[in-house]
Amino acid sequence: MDYSTLTMEQVEERLAAIDLEAEDADLDAVEQEINALEARKNAIIAEAEARAKELEDVAKGDITEPISKETKMSERTFTPESAEYRAAWLKNMLGRPLDEEERAAITATGVIPVIVENRIINKLKENKLLSMVDLTRFPGNVRIPNYSTNNDASWATTSTDSADVIDYVDLAAYQLIKTIEVPAQADRMHIDAFEDYLVEALSNKIETALQAAILVGTGSSQPTGIAVTVATASGTFTKAAATKADLLKIMAKLPDKYQNGAAWIMPAKVFYGEVMAVADTNTFVNLADGMDYRLFGKPVVLDDTCTISSTDTIFYGNPKAYHMNLGQDIEVAVDRSVGFRSNSAVYRAVCLADGKLDAAAAFVKFTRATQ
């Protein structure tokens, strides 16, 4: 199939039509098709971003003639992935006047531009923990196959093989709402600067909520956190301070099938105040790039959410065993009436998400001993 001619709408329709639950699904072929569709989506976005930059340069007077004919008023396109739609949507968010064609497009569609949404998603993927888990964007509820019993190949005198058992991780679509209040001065910002501000502010709000859900989500109208899933698979580390022996004990408790790709998750005060103090006389902590620490060769995620009910907790396990799905495109709306007293506007982002571990054994959880 030639993916290079597909529009963004056709790509999204095909992605939505892929059935991961089909019994005869060729998962390798499905993965290849998804990768090809995602590549086409990224190509469309890149083209739209280049075109948007061209339009902005024209508007600012940096260039006097547009490079492409599509920028002519008579040939403008207002699909969610187009530069024209992005500009109209951002102008609408800023409360600036729209021409008739722009107003019609926003009224008819109203969704967040593909460029802006993908910038938010890409910012989310910069989050260390979110980049490690299995983060997907399938529409609605999804069912992910998981081998609960996966037998090794065995030598036999007959052709009979032991059967594997396939379970499923079912992910719903729970609503996550985050708001930010922006001073009225933002109305005077350049469109590009406002987009940067909006993307940064909304992605920071959403990523904080999603990361907390991965760790401590209750599972009731929200994702099921690792702490809930591995509540019974726990141990303790030394009350005064975590020791090297404690850390090795934690690593030893994780089954070997999850060791490849495993990571540490712990509060910053435990890592810097205890683990690093022990490391002064050892060589088991390494600093890769910037603040990218590795403990016994495994990446470290610092998150104070790991102080649960005032008790410090250390998680060790394989983040890829945690599946999180964003079940709906992010929606962004603005309300200026609620900020009347403070002369500000409130921007609200809504997304649907769910997540859970595919196996409790994928993580171990150790808390500080009480004595």
- Residue 63: the pLDDT is 44
- As beta bridge partners, residue 322 has 357
Q: What pLDDT band is residue 278 in, cutting at 50, 70 and 90?
A: confident
> Does 50 have pLDDT greater than 90?
no
pLDDT above 90: residue 246: yes
Q: How far apart are CA 251 and CA 294, in angstroms?
A: 14
| Confidence at residue 320, expressed as pLDDT on a 0 to 100 scale | 95
Pairing of strands 285-287, 174-183: unpaired
Beta-bridged to residue 146, according to DSSP, are 167
Of 4-18, 96-110, 239-253, 324-338, which one has max mean pLDDT?
Answer: 239-253
Which residues lie closer than 8 Å to 358 by C-beta, 6 or more apart?
144, 146, 169, 321, 322, 323
Is the pLDDT assigned to residue 104 strictly greater than 60? yes
SS3 259: coil
Residue 226 tokens, joined: 């690792």
Question: Which pLDDT tens digit goes with each residue over 191-231?
Answer: 888 888 888 888 888 999 999 999 999 999 999 999 999 97
Q: What confidence category does residue 303 fall into, taking pLDDT thresholds of 50, 70 and 90?
A: very high
Per-residue pLDDT for 150 more than 60?
Answer: no
Length of the chain (residues): 371
* Structure confidence at residue 300 as a pLDDT band (50, 70, 90): very high
Give the pLDDT confidence score for residue 65 in this predicted structure.
46
Q: Report which of 75, 362, 81, 28 is spatially closest to residue 224, judged by C-alpha positions.
A: 362
pLDDT on residue 67: 45
* C-beta separation of 31 from 25 below 8 A: no
pLDDT value of position 301 = 95
At 192 the pLDDT is 83
SS3 for 175?
strand
Lowest-confidence segment of 92-101, 181-190, 356-365 by average pLDDT? 181-190
Task: Write down the pLDDT at residue 311.
Answer: 93
Question: What confidence score (pLDDT) does residue 64 get?
Answer: 42
Cα angle: 99, vertex 105, 107; to 5 degrees: 100
Here the contacts of 19-23 (C-beta below 8 Å, separation 24 or greater) are 20/138, 20/142, 20/143, 20/144, 20/145, 21/143, 21/145, 21/168
Higher per-residue pLDDT: 256 or 52: 256
Mean pLDDT of 321-333: 89
pLDDT in tens, 59-89: 444 444 444 544 455 467 788 888 888 888 9
In contact, 206 and 176? CB cutoff 8 Å: yes
Quote the mean pLDDT of the chain: 82
Q: Is 171 exposed, middle or buried (0-12, 13-18, 19+ CB in 10 A)?
A: buried
pTM: 0.72
- Helices 83-94, 27-60: crossing angle, 10 deg rounding: 70
Q: Judging by beta carbons within 10 Å of its beta carbon (0-12, 13-18, 19+), is residue 88 exposed, middle or buried?
A: buried
Residue 96 to residue 272: CA distance in whole angstroms: 48
CA distance 176 to 207: 11
What span, in angstroms and rounded, lies between the C-alpha atoms of 237 and 332? 44
Summarize the confidence of residues 242-252 as an average pLDDT. 94
> Strands 344-357 and 307-308: what pairing?
unpaired
Mean pLDDT of all residues in 239-260: 94
Question: Which letter does DSSP use for residue 289 in this model?
Answer: S
Strands 134-136 and 311-317: unpaired
Residue range 30-40, pLDDT digits in tens: 778 888 888 88
Rounded CA separation 307/164 (Å):
38
pLDDT tens per residue, range 151-160: 566 666 555 5
For 96, the 3-state DSSP assignment is coil
Residue type at position 112: I
**Which element (helix H / strand E) includes 237?**
strand 234-237
Position 338 pLDDT exceeds 80: no
pLDDT of residue 341: 64
What's the rounded mean pLDDT across residues 116-133? 90
pLDDT of res. 55: 60
341 vs 55, 183, 346, 357, CA distance in Å?
36, 11, 12, 45
